[in-house]
Amino acid sequence: MDIRSDFHTHTNLSSCAPADTTVQALLDGLCAGPDGLRVLGISNHLWDRDVPGASAWYKPQDVAHVLSVREQLKDADTHGARVIVGAEVEFSSDLRVAITEEHAALFDYLLITANHVHMKDFIIPASVTDPYEVADIIVTRFKAAAKVRLPVRCGIAHPFYPMSFGRDEMTILGSISDQTYGECFELAVENGKSIEIHSSAFGAHLPLNEAGFCDEYVRMLRIARECGCTFHIGSDVHRPAPERGIRLRGLVKYLGLAEYDLTDF
Ligand SMILES: [Zn+2]
Ligand SMILES: [Zn+2]
């Protein structure tokens, strides 16, 4: 099984990536050499200007901006990798996906991000600090994002990762029961959403098991598998950092996933 793929990567078209993360720098860093990626998905942050409500940060990161990577790819050396163009599309506080159906069809795939809870007073109220309340919001948002129907294959980016709540991360994840995860992942299966195997599973601030992964993320991903989800690797790199993808391939093996468990975007 060749799992040398990564569908969650950013270039400097994302405002949060360094200027020197050009497409070519990403390709050179992730795809070159005998262990390089065979499939690379580029997924810059997106809010479609035809969907009202973008924050000031999102406004410049519209469909034309994110799709301009296709032009950059024309002259790029892909080192033999298949490169596909997606986006990490936001999901609003009132549970709308931030892209129109018409524009979604312009992409090879999309990652819907349901838990950018670090965006205070935009995705969640800044007043929400209670870990159990954060968990409820993340679960509600996951279920709503799982039900989104778009005319392109979609995954869920960094599922259940409570961004910016690191101190309470274990409490938040621990409060989500197996049954609740099951309800969430059944919706993902029904609506064809791929589940991301993301670098949050080995956050430096988390307790890690002997294999180097956080057991709370392992529990979540195992339930997703029991429910029949398919998965994709998403390192979420904002600069060429191949070591993250290599660690995620280790997690795929640790979870015992087979080729048929992986999403074919
Ligand atoms: Zn994200
Ligand atoms: Zn990302």
pTM above 0.95, yes or no: yes
Sheet holding 231-234, edge to edge: 5-6, 39-46, 82-90, 110-113, 154-156, 193-198, 231-234
Q: Cα of 201 to ligand 1 centre, how many Å? A: 14
Q: Cα of 61 to ligand 2 centre, how many Å? A: 13
Q: Cα of 113 to ligand 2 centre, how many Å? A: 8
Q: Cα of 126 to ligand 1 centre, how many Å? A: 18
Give the number of the ligand closest to the Cα of residue 235.
Answer: 2
Say how many domains are in the chain: 1
CATH code, 32:
3.20.20.140
Give the closest residue to 152 by CA, choosing from 90, 99, 85, 104.
104
pLDDT band at 52 (very low <50, low <70, confident <90, very high): very high
SS3 72: helix
> What would the pLDDT profile of 161-217 be if each residue is shown by its tens digit?
999 999 999 999 999 999 999 999 999 999 999 999 999 999 999 999 999 999 999
Give the number of the ligand closest to the Cα of residue 6.
Answer: 2
Query: Who's near 154: CB < 8 A, 6+ residues apart?
Result: 109, 110, 111, 112, 148, 192, 193, 194
What is the β-pairing status of strands 39-46 and 5-6? Answer: parallel
Q: What is the pLDDT of residue 167?
A: 94
Q: Cα of 88 to ligand 1 centre, how many Å? A: 7
Phi, psi of 18 (to 5 degrees): -65, 150
Q: Cα of 200 to ligand 2 centre, how many Å? A: 11
Q: Cα of 262 to ligand 2 centre, how many Å? A: 19
Inter-residue contact 117 to 123 (CB < 8 Å): yes
> What would the pLDDT profile of 200-210 be if each residue is shown by its tens digit?
999 999 999 99
Q: Cα of 149 to ligand 1 centre, how many Å? A: 20
Distance, CA of 63 to CA of 48 (rounded, Å): 6
Vertex 10: Cα angle to 140 and 203 (nearest 5): 60
Domain limits for position 178: 5-261
